[in-house]
Chain A
């Protein structure tokens, strides 16, 4: 029984202590990560964080300097990219310019030695999946970016990989198309049941797509969590700042009231309460108070002065000058069409936030 249980619990993809050094610079630094079957995992990070290098090691284009990469318990380090049960959708799509859409999709199938009749039906199936049936005879340069993106996805999925790697899959699309495509990509993910690993620098993309996000910085995974937890309970200032907008205020620990930590925040000029993950540090420890702009309400509470505001259609963004001299961003949804312009420049206001909506960060 225990054997069966451990076999089920074995992660699909296991990255163990992987390090990659290029000419003395460490791109990926002793990184370990387990990814479960049928997960849509997002590697999120800025440029130079090592996320693309990690992806290229999974594809087999780079060999780790040390460490192991296992798929279903089998080490694939040293296996030729052609022999891995892994396919990749490239950021540039890398469609073969001299082949039409059908030939591009069939390319990987031909290399498998799949008989022609089977190949044709597989290509048709893939074209249906990405809704590109009528484009089978087009050449890549005769299509828009969005269409090329779908063909690239179909080509990468055609061989039925166990693991699909997507390198910045939506970055080449314009904003509107990107939002539509995100949902389409999730739909295709649900239909295929393949494990996806997506690399992106776009936190919104990661939040929408992923079942779990791994935030990378300087070759290390800083936090691995669900999108909700990454956003609501970022581990440090870097993640809080990288994922969404956040107010970061200097504070020090003042005490413990059972559920929350009490913080002295000189910028606000009063004691505030916030969530503290783990043990509460000693009284007087310098920490950071993180509050998202949309968690703050205007009306009653702490005093401030409106320094500036920006009407953005769906929300209005207020910039408040605090009693203690700091700056605080507040975002308020424009629920009614009129009556939202009651707050204006230099007006004294009061703001408040629930202790559940604020997080204490250790660093």
Chain B
């Protein structure tokens, strides 16, 4: 019995943590999204009024309806998915060969290479973004170098473009893709590749039929780890992106701060979460991806 309680306590602590710091705030945000903006503290009308001890619902789902009416939100959402999806794909294309090389390296080299992947993670991502800005801006290192070499006559516009956003997301999130891929590829049994060669497979055939399918769990984990935070990313598009293509994170930020419309901002947040989480939960429960692959 006592052992049972000990186990429950160990498992329970993270759950309580999640309850207090995720579920409760989530519920509060949801309640906020049902109100209307007003000049007060806090700046929204409550979703419930109290008749003594009995709650009475006075909120509405108008904010959600509003999200569908103004195409700003749809465009921002689709733009975010597009940028996050594209960046995730690029991350995957860069990270897979890296993870493969690390997984196949000798133990000494493996540690060095892993450290090289993780090390940038130890510095603030904001610092790394500013470092990239220093490279990309009009008078930055790349443009100066290109002009000095005579490749271009005038600086190339790289800041405030989608290119800069993609580049920065790939740069920032790369370790999150490399690490799960590495852990899957590191476990890959080398004799399977020998067996494929023995059965007549060429290098690329072995890759398509054995190595890639067996790395699917790592690909899926890495893509989720990159895609989900990238969709909600707001610092990178804010600092690197063009003003006319906001991502959903920037819209959210704008509603909270510039517009002071907390209920709409909350509705944007809830809608984003629902639109992101539901498809992934369906994906996770599909046997093809969850299973033995």
B213: interface (CB < 8 Å): yes
Kindly state the separation between the CA atoms of A217 and B200 in the bound complex, as whole angstroms.
Answer: 32
* Total A-B pairs, Cβ < 8 A: 61
Find out whether the CB atom of B191 lies under 8 angstroms from the CB atom of A90. Answer: yes
Among A82, A94, A108, A159, the residue within 8 A (CB) of B191 is A94
Kindly state the separation between the CA atoms of A96 and B199 in the bound complex, as whole angstroms.
Answer: 12
Interface size of B by CB at 8 A reads 19
Kindly state the separation between the CA atoms of A96 and B293 in the bound complex, as whole angstroms.
Answer: 10
Kindly state the separation between the CA atoms of A108 and B213 in the bound complex, as whole angstroms.
Answer: 17
B228: interface (CB < 8 Å): no
B205: interface (CB < 8 Å): yes
- Kindly name the residue among A59, A83, A96 whose own CB sees the greatest number of chain B CB atoms within 10 A: A96
Classify the interface of chain B: helix, strand, loop or mixed: helix
Kindly provide the distance from the CB of A307 to the nearest chain B CB, expressed in whole angstroms. Answer: 48
A175: interface (CB < 8 Å): no
Kindly state the separation between the CA atoms of A112 and B198 in the bound complex, as whole angstroms.
Answer: 12
Find out whether the CB atom of B293 lies under 8 angstroms from the CB atom of A98. Answer: yes
B292: interface (CB < 8 Å): yes
B24: interface (CB < 8 Å): no
A82 contacts across to B, CB distance below 8 A: 197-202
Find out whether the CB atom of A159 lies under 8 angstroms from the CB atom of B194. Answer: no
Find out whether the CB atom of A94 lies under 8 angstroms from the CB atom of B189. Answer: yes
B210: interface (CB < 8 Å): yes
Kindly provide the distance from the CB of A150 to the nearest chain B CB, expressed in whole angstroms. Answer: 16
B274: interface (CB < 8 Å): no
Find out whether the CB atom of A107 lies under 8 angstroms from the CB atom of B209. Answer: yes
Find out whether the CB atom of B192 lies under 8 angstroms from the CB atom of A111. Answer: no
B196: interface (CB < 8 Å): yes
Residue ID in chain A nearest B190 by CB atoms: A94
Among B189, B199, B205, B292, the residue within 8 A (CB) of A92 is B189
Kindly provide the distance from the CB of B277 to the nearest chain A CB, expressed in whole angstroms. Answer: 28
A86 contacts across to B, CB distance below 8 A: 198
Find out whether the CB atom of A98 lies under 8 angstroms from the CB atom of B214. Answer: yes
Among B189, B198, B214, the residue within 8 A (CB) of A81 is B198
Which chain B residues (185-231) contact chain A, with CB distance < 8 Å? 189, 191-192, 194-202, 205, 209-210, 213-214
Binding site for A on B (CB under 8 A): 189, 191-192, 194-202, 205, 209-210, 213-214, 292-293
- Jot down 21 A-B pairs with beta carbons below 8 A, ordered by A: A59-B194, A60-B197, A61-B197, A81-B197, A86-B198, A87-B198, A87-B199, A88-B198, A94-B189, A94-B192, A94-B194, A96-B192, A96-B210, A107-B196, A107-B199, A107-B209, A108-B200, A111-B200, A139-B292, A155-B199, A156-B198
Binding site for B on A (CB under 8 A): 59-61, 80-83, 86-88, 90, 92, 94, 96-98, 107-108, 111-112, 139, 141, 155-156, 159
